[in-house]
Amino acid sequence: MTGSESDSVIRVRGLVTRFGTQTVHNGLDLDVRRGEILAIVGGSGTGKSVLLRTILGLKSPDGGSVELLGATLEALDEEARRPVLKRIGVLFQDGALFSARTVAQNARLPFLEHTDVDHRLVTQLIRVKLSMVGLPQSAGAKLPSELSGGMRKRAGLARAIALDPDILFLDEPTAGLDPIGAANFDSLIRDLQQALALTVVMVTHDVDTLCAIADRVAVLVDSKIIVGTLDEIRAHPHPWIQAYFDGPRGRAARTGLAVSAGRAVSEGI
């Protein structure tokens, strides 16, 4: 942790993204603070996943700059990127596990690539990670194709947190999970974030996830981004945001919160 990083682990300035003649991001600014859970939401085609890919250095910006942990990935070569990449973990939508390797081998890969930790200790740490993400140890010997979608996500998460990263990126972590599985996954992420002092950046469609675990919400509208706490965003007059939170799903998620708040009040009396 150096001084230059200060409290912003990710700093996006004036980002421009274009596909052909279509401008997806136009002068977008975003700061992600250390230790927070930031959820990025937005309608289809507003460039949520592209923003994530740009921050991760998988796509170079068409304008503006992106700093990840104080480094500009775009300006670095493969070798210079490694120390930065070692400090981030990414969970892709369907886990993106390497299909020819078992779950344990998938989780071992970051250790082989970035550390020279003793072989036995690595095996033990993989056991720890598997249990942390709620997978049975028997899943370690299985190939990704032998797992259900939810288990593949957990296995992907085990690989993402293998090296105890500073920042964890999640691309639609609850997509494709049933409501109970999604709620479990939400609390898993919250637990891990607290235990490992993670900064979490996630792209999500799920209003429930948003209400349950996000510290701040970033909404992509009009090629820009609006960031704030859940309450601030909810009070924002932008029509898309209003429609998002006032739609039937948004209302249901909010009612859930109101009910739990109401319970707290009645207990107070």
Sites of contact with another protein (CB under 8 A)? 99, 102, 104, 115, 117-118, 121, 123-132, 136-138, 140-141, 145, 161, 163-164, 194-197
Residues in a beta bridge with 68: 10, 71
- Residue number, 105 or 223, with CB nearest to another protein: 105
3-state secondary structure 227-239: EECHHHHHCCCCH
Question: Which burial class, exposed, middle or buried, applies to 145 when counting CB atoms under 10 A from its CB (0-12, 13-18, 19+)?
Answer: exposed
Q: Dihedrals φ, ψ of 112, to 5°?
A: -65, -40
In whole angstroms, the minimum distance from the beta carbon of 103 to another protein comes to 8
In whole angstroms, the minimum distance from the beta carbon of 263 to another protein comes to 24
- Residue number, 175 or 196, with CB nearest to another protein: 196
- Residue number, 132 or 230, with CB nearest to another protein: 132
| Rounded CA separation 43/37 (Å) | 20
- Residue number, 128 or 264, with CB nearest to another protein: 128
In whole angstroms, the minimum distance from the beta carbon of 182 to another protein comes to 22
- Residue number, 55 or 163, with CB nearest to another protein: 163
In whole angstroms, the minimum distance from the beta carbon of 196 to another protein comes to 7
Half-sphere exposure of 241 (CA within 13 A, CB side): 20
In whole angstroms, the minimum distance from the beta carbon of 136 to another protein comes to 7
Q: Dihedrals φ, ψ of 96, to 5°?
A: 50, 40
Tell me the three state secondary structure of residue 63: strand
Residues 6+ away with beta carbon under 8 Å from 181: 150, 174
